[in-house]
A = this chain, B = another copy of it.
Amino acid sequence: MPLFFNRVALLGVGLIGASIAKVMKAKGLCGSITGYGRSTDNLERAAAEGIIDSFNILADVACRDADLIVLAAPPAVFSSLVKDARQSFKEGAIVTDVGSIKGKTVFEIESLMPANAHYVGAHPIAGSEKSGIADSSAHLFHGAKCLLTPTQTTDKAALEKVSALWAAAGAVVEIMDPFRHDEVYAAVSHLPHILAYELVNIVADADPDFLRYAGKGFKDTTRIAMSSPELWRDISILNSDELVRLIHLFRKRLDDMAYYLRDKNSQQIEAEFSKARTLRSDLGSDACQQGEE
């Protein structure tokens, strides 16, 4: 049976939500898409551009009769969105999300599901410091990883359908434990965001004029500090346990480095730098391509 969702509810029409909507339209995977969001202007624009077919400013109305419900709002509101809308989830509806946070959030959403609606957690590793439908594209997920985070109670058929959806979007689907997901992304995404934001701030606080001397290296290193403060505030708080643990470890490394520097310990400093260079070089240098949230 080909993958097809007669009615789709898209709760949140931003970069990621609009992009997966465009995929579904382009690939003929859906009948119609109803959008929901906080900004009527944005919903009107999305409808005018054909990204969604209709919209409603009430989440429960938007979800009525939906076969697929995609949570594409900021992760911090997933639970309240589900609470608001679940009364109208139809029998057998599949609920999925695109959030950068899994862990406890997955189990919380699962616990809120009505009987016979099936939640499958998903995190497509796409997006950038940009947000909003202007940069959305059916190609956004092409070649990107998409992590699915089923639990022991996840419906197998729903998992397969969500997996097929992301595969249709061109993503490389991978299954991961929800808590391991948050450990991984604390390290490769959430901590780097905090370091980037704080690096900009420390330079400006030292002397606002210093930023005039920033070169390409500084700009690359802090590009993600242009990301949405509201989104990253929420992600940071939702993953605060992991982040606090990592910040503590990072501090320890900085202490060690300060010690090596005071000690002019060339050998140890070079060893640190060489190790990092080898590891980083193995990742390749696609500094001008897509793929991160």
Residues of A within 8 A of B (CB): 125-126, 128-129, 144-145, 147, 183-185, 187-189, 191-204, 206-207, 210-211, 213-230, 232-234, 236-237, 240, 243-244, 246-251, 253-255, 257-258, 261-262, 264, 266, 269-270, 272-277, 279-293
Contact = CB atoms under 8 A, between A and B. Distances in A.
Contact of A280 (B206, B222, B287): B222
Contact of A247 (B232, B258, B277): B258
A188 B203 contact: yes
Given A198-B272, A219-B292, A229-B277, 14 more contacts: A128-B217, A197-B277, A200-B279, A201-B272, A217-B293, A220-B220, A220-B223, A223-B280, A225-B276, A225-B280, A230-B270, A233-B266, A234-B266, A247-B261
Among A126, A144, A257, the most chain B Cβ lie within 10 Å of the Cβ of: A257
Among A144, A249, A253, A264, the most chain B Cβ lie within 10 Å of the Cβ of: A253
B283 A229 contact: no
Contacts of A214: 188, 283
A269 B226 CA distance: 15
A210 B196 contact: no
Contacts of A225: 273, 276-277, 280
B283 A219 contact: yes
Contact of A264 (B188, B240, B247): B240
A253 B201 contact: yes
Contacts of A262: 240, 244
Contact of A221 (B196, B228, B266, B277): B196
B236 A269 contact: yes
A140 B283 CA distance: 26
A145 B283 contact: no
Given A201-B276, A218-B188, A236 B261 contact: yes
A272 B197 contact: yes
A289 B279 CA distance: 24
13 contacts: A147-B213, A187-B207, A189-B217, A191-B202, A198-B253, A198-B276, A200-B275, A216-B289, A221-B224, A223-B285, A227-B277, A233-B266, A236-B269
Contacts of A226: 277, 280-281, 285
B287 A220 contact: yes
A193 B217 contact: yes
Contacts of A206: 183, 187, 246, 249
Nearest to A215: B292
A243 B262 CA distance: 9
Nearest to A262: B244
A246 B202 CA distance: 8
A251 B237 CA distance: 20
Contact of A187 (B193, B203, B219, B273): B203
